[in-house]
């Protein structure tokens, strides 16, 4: 009896073990099936999401890179600057055309642009026309930017235009007798220096100028000399502690809003540079230019007609210096020459010539009329001064 009970009990245990094993096997199979389903469902989604994020991140990185390094962007034709020539006075246009004027002419009357137009070729070999945004070397008109910078430094107390040159260049010959004012007004007696095609440092250029002998006692006479403004530019660099180009760009060009004006070889990086010509024996030649380092402070600037007008207006309206300084700036000393420009009976003007270029800038003493004539044919028109006067006369009669 007992033995039978034990056997039955053992059979029951074996049956329970079997059931447990079956249940465990079923659970195991369920877990395997669940995990397999999860892997099939989740993993592709994960990789899709991860791939999507990676693309997005790479896109952000690309955009950030392009912002940091703009030159990597491709230039497209659509980004080329748009040029708009303005002709609101057919009579002035026809007058300039009748003279075979080559270059850009700008005329402004009472804040209205009457004319801003190119004439002839900027490059006759390539048949590229001058336009309102063509840049030209302006030769001696450069000097007015230097004199304006000198006056700015005087207002800051770093310079006095009555100081002797010796204060800034101790060993300069006759430096105790020659003042900055004498340099500004071309009454120093210092002769012109030769301007060659050889590159020269600023220090060596000053040494070359120092070798010239005075033509007269400082302040007693007038003699136009590029050397005067080269010395002033050299002093500006000493006083400001920075290159002339840097100072003038920041404190003159940028203040006036001049976007296509600069120094020396940067000319060729502009969208519309002109090529200089000279008529000789019935043909056009391209004369050799001095090296721009030889023209330091006295003739190494280029600009457009409209930028030149922006400077004139900024100067006249007191954006560049105080009214007190302007009065001194516009007051002539000898030969109707003030500080970097001429003070004529009804207007202020400056004129510049380089081999291949001839330029004239003028604005009325009332500040109502501006005439800028920039030509890339050095001797194409007999006298830009006569042309300038005729345009003033036409404006007076019509506007």
pLDDT tens-digit readout, 76-121: 333 446 778 999 999 999 999 999 999 999 999 999 999 999 999 9
Please give the backbone phi and psi of residue 313, each rounded to the nearest 5 degrees, phi first: -70, -40
Cα angle value 163/165/170 (rounded, 5°)? 120
Q: What confidence tens digit (pLDDT) does each residue in 331-379 have?
A: 999 999 999 999 999 999 999 999 999 999 999 999 999 999 999 999 9
According to the model, what pLDDT value does residue 91 have?
96
Q: What's residue 397's pLDDT? A: 83
1 to 4, 121, 202: CA distances (angstroms): 5, 132, 129
CA distance 55 to 287: 58
Residue owning tokens 């995990």: 35
pLDDT at 217 over 90: yes
Does position 293 have pLDDT exceeding 60, yes or no?
yes
Confidence of residue 22 (pLDDT cuts 50, 70, 90): low
Burial class, 210, CB count within 10 angstroms (exposed 0-12 / middle 13-18 / buried 19+) = middle
- pLDDT at residue 281, rounded to an integer: 87
What pLDDT does residue 321 have?
A: 98
State yes or no: pLDDT of 45 exceeds 70.
Answer: no
- Greater confidence (4 vs 68) lies with 4
pLDDT at 23: 58
Parallel, antiparallel or unpaired: strands 86-87 and 112-119: antiparallel
DSSP collapsed to 3 states, the chain: CHHHHHHHHHHHHHHHHHHHHHHHHHHHHHHHHHHHHHHHHHHHHHHHHHHHHHHHHHHHHHHHHHHHCHHHCCCCHHHCCCCCCEECCHHHHHHHHHCCCCEEEEEEECCEEEEEEEECEEECCCCEECCCCCEEECHHHHHHHHHHHHHHHHHCCCCCCCCEHHHCCCCCCCCCCCEHHHHHCCCCCCCCCCCCCCCCCHHHHHHHHHCCCCCCCCCCCCCCCHHHHHHHHHHHHHHHCCCHHHHHHHHHHHHHCCCCCEEHHHHHHCCCECCCEEEECCEEECCCCCCHHHHCCCCCEEECHHHHHHHHHHHHCCCCCCHHHHHHHHCCCECCECCCCEECCCEEEEEEEECCEEEEEEEECCCCEEEEEEECECCCCCCHHHHHHHHHHHHHHHC
Mean pLDDT estimate for the chain? 86
Banded model confidence at residue 16, pLDDT cuts 50, 70, 90: low
pLDDT grade for 27, boundaries at 50, 70 and 90: low
pTM of the model: 0.79
Q: What is the structure's pLDDT at 2? A: 36
**How far is Cα 251 from Cα 253, in angstroms, rounded to an integer?**
6
Instruction: Give the range among 29-38, 178-187, 274-283 with minimum mean pLDDT.
Output: 29-38
Choice among 60-74, 119-133, 153-167, 322-336 with the minimum mean pLDDT: 60-74
Question: Residue 29: what pLDDT?
Answer: 56
pLDDT recorded at residue 84:
83
| 156, pLDDT greater than 90 | yes
Residues 6+ away with beta carbon under 8 Å from 92: 105, 107, 114, 115, 391, 394, 395
User: What pLDDT is attached to residue 21?
Assistant: 54
pLDDT, average across residues 261-269: 97
Residue bearing tokens 């003007």: 349
Task: State residue 107's pLDDT score.
Answer: 98
| Stretch 205-231: mean pLDDT | 98
Q: What Rg value do the Cα atoms of the chain yield, rounded?
A: 38
Q: What is the dihedral of CA 198, 200, 204, 206, to 10 degrees?
A: 90
For the record, the structure tokens of 76 come out as 């497209």
Q: Can you give the pLDDT at residue 57?
A: 32
pLDDT confidence of residue 53 = 36
Query: For residue 9, is it left (φ>0), alpha (ψ between -120 and 50) or beta?
Result: alpha
Determine the topology of domain 86-398 in CATH. Beta-lactamase (3.40.710)
pLDDT one-digit tens code per residue, 51-72: 333 333 333 333 333 333 333 3
pLDDT score for 78: 37
Q: Where are the domains of the chain?
A: 2-68, 86-398
Better-predicted residue by pLDDT, 203 or 66: 203
Nearest CA to 186 out of 228, 139, 234 is that of 228
Q: What is the mean pLDDT of residues 191-219?
A: 97
Residue 281, token pair as written in the block: 């024996």
* pLDDT given at position 61: 33
**Burial readout 348-378 (b: 16 or more C-beta within 10 A, e: otherwise):** bbbbbbbbbbbbbbbbbeeeebbbbbbbbbb
pLDDT at 240 over 60: yes
Categorize the per-residue pLDDT at 167 as very low, low, confident or very high, splitting at 50, 70 and 90.
very high
Helix axes of 323-330 and 305-316: crossing angle, nearest 10 degrees: 120
């Amino acid at each position: 009896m007992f033995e039978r009970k034990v056997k039955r009990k053992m059979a029951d245990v074996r049956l329970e073990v079997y059931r447990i094993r079956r249940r465990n096997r079923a659970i195991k199979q369920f877990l395997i099936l669940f995990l397999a389903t999860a892997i099939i469902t989740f993993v592709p989604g994960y990789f899709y999401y991860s791939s999507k994020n990676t693309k997005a991140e790479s896109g952000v990185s690309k955009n950030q890179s392009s912002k940091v390094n703009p030159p990597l962007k491709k230039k497209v034709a659509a980004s080329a600057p748009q040029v708009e020539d303005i002709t609101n006075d057919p009579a002035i246009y026809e007058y300039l055309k009748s003279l075979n004027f080559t270059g850009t002419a700008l005329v402004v009357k009472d804040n209205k642009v009457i004319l801003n137009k190119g004439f002839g070729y900027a490059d006759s070999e390539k048949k590229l026309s001058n336009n309102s945004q063509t840049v030209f070397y302006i030769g001696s008109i450069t000097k007015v930017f230097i004199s304006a910078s000198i006056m700015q430094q005087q207002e800051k107390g770093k310079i006095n235009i009555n100081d002797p040159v010796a204060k800034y260049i101790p060993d300069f010959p006759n430096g105790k007798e020659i003042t900055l004012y004498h340099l500004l007004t071309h009454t120093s007696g210092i002769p012109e220096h030769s301007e060659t095609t050889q590159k020269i440092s600023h220090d060596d250029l000053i040494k070359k100028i120092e070798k010239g002998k005075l033509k007269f006692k400082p302040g007693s006479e007038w003699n136009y000399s590029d050397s005067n403004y080269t010395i002033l530019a050299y002093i500006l660099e000493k006083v400001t502690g920075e290159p002339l180009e840097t100072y003038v760009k920041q404190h003159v060009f940028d203040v006036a809003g001049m976007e296509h004006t600069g120094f020396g070889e940067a000319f060729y990086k502009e969208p519309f540079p002109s090529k200089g010509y000279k008529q000789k024996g019935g043909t056009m030649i391209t004369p050799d230019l001095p090296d721009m380092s030889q023209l330091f402070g006295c003739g190494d600037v280029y600009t457009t007609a409209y930028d030149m007008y922006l400077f004139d207006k900024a100067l006249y309206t007191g954006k560049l210096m105080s009214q007190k300084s302007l009065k001194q700036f516009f007051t002539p000393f000898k030969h109707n020459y003030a500080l970097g420009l001429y003070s004529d009976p009804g207007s202020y003007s400056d004129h510049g010539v380089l081999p291949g270029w001839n330029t004239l800038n003028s604005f009325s003493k009332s500040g109502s009329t501006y005439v800028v004539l920039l030509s890339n044919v050095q001797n194409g028109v007999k006298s830009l001064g006569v042309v300038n006067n005729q345009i003033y006369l036409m404006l007076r009669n019509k506007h």
